[in-house]
Structure 1
């Protein structure tokens, strides 16, 4: 009854696990698995740090003016509650899925460079937590066991770090390498709309389509993760025209 009053059942969160990109690509590989949450997290901690240099302190003893060095990748920590009740997968199998995210995949190890899976927290329309990341640490605490010692319940603390850091959207034509950001497609999204929000120019939807190998911009299904690339300067384009 309460869920009906609030507009329906809650959207369940999941940790989506992707193959890493081939070589040095910036787009994730296909989805290989996902860990569905039986209960949504009560708290998700997201952080980001900037590096500042104050080493050039004046001899007068006054504090040196801080000089920006660079931005650190976003980090996220969340708890995943796992229980054997009502699930086809054992608690141990799901914990192993999380632990495996800390090691390179067999395919990437053979092809070089070795890379662990890329993951993404999928939770409805949440965007600040939906970035592509690497799993840096998993701590599993088993809290209930069967008579034969089989773990029946666990609480896993999962730490994530953004794959490539974030590049400020305010300078989309800086010519830097790597993705500006990633975007989880939801119903009603369009490439032109994403280009407008990311670059201030809806005509640049073609760059988004090219970066994600999208053949038909009208058919990008909800749930797709799009890379929003850094765009090169258009000075040469303007001169050619």
Structure 2
């Protein structure tokens, strides 16, 4: 095997009934693309030529690529010298498609890790398209191209323990999204869920459960003992 040959890409199931299962990609992708976006709220203001844009939240990273599967490739050829494939295409196609199904233990599709050389991407499979271009005599697929979109996956605990890196020394405003509570917002913004009282006082909230999706909250800065912010 050529020492410069890239290791095969793999997809590893991280949780659920098939936890630990590794699906090896017979051919490495020829390329892949990353995409990330942010959500903004447009607020129209009378007299202005354009609405005011206010940042709402960041979206998850998305990784997209095409995967090629082929039963007629010599399993001892140069592309398979590292780890020959024993499973026919139909089995690998079934395993990949199963990753879109709801797992009975998780009540959701399982998270996976896509690994290729130094790159590791923890995600769920958001979309999988397949185009079969060759068949065995019995009608089973023999050659297929898959278009796969992975969406970054993080648990709530991971997001709280690794909050956004903005400084908390300036007053900010942000919108409530989904079922967010004051404690969760405080943990994300200040790194301490106990700071929910600071947010409640700044917004005249007698009951922290009064907030609802779409509400705007003022997030005051944290004062240091010397009276400075930060």
Asked if the contact 1:48–1:73 (Cα under 8 Å) also holds between the matched residues in 2, the reply is yes
Q: How does 1:31-46 map to 2 (within 5 A)?
A: 31-46=19-34
CA apart distance, 1:102: 0.8
1:159 aligned partner: 149
Q: Aligned residues, how many?
A: 158
RMSD (Å) for aligned C-alpha atoms: 2.9
Specify which of 104, 114, 126 is matched with residue 136 of structure 1.
126
Instruction: Give the TM-score normalised by structure 2.
Output: 0.60
1:70 aligned partner: 57
CA apart distance, 1:105: 1.4
Separation in structure 2 between the aligned mates of residue 71 and residue 36 of structure 1, nearest angstrom: 32
Q: Write out the 4+ residue segments of structure 1 that deviate beyond 4 Å after TM superposition.
A: 165-169, 171-174
Inter-CA distance 145–105: structure 2 relative to 1 (3 Å threshold): same
Larger Rg: 2
Separation in structure 2 between the aligned mates of residue 172 and residue 125 of structure 1, nearest angstrom: 31
Specify which of 86, 93, 114 is matched with residue 121 of structure 1.
114
**SS of match in other structure, 1:94:** helix
Asked if the contact 1:73–1:164 (Cα under 8 Å) also holds between the matched residues in 2, the reply is no
Asked if the contact 2:6–2:117 (Cα under 8 Å) also holds between the matched residues in 1, the reply is no
Identify unmatched segments of 5+ residues in structure 1: 21-28, 109-113, 178-232, 236-241
Q: How does 1:1-241 map to 2 (within 5 A)?
A: 3-4=2-3, 8-20=4-16, 31-55=19-43, 57-84=44-71, 85=73, 86=75, 87-108=85-106, 114-126=107-119, 130-164=120-154, 170-171=165-166, 175-176=187-188
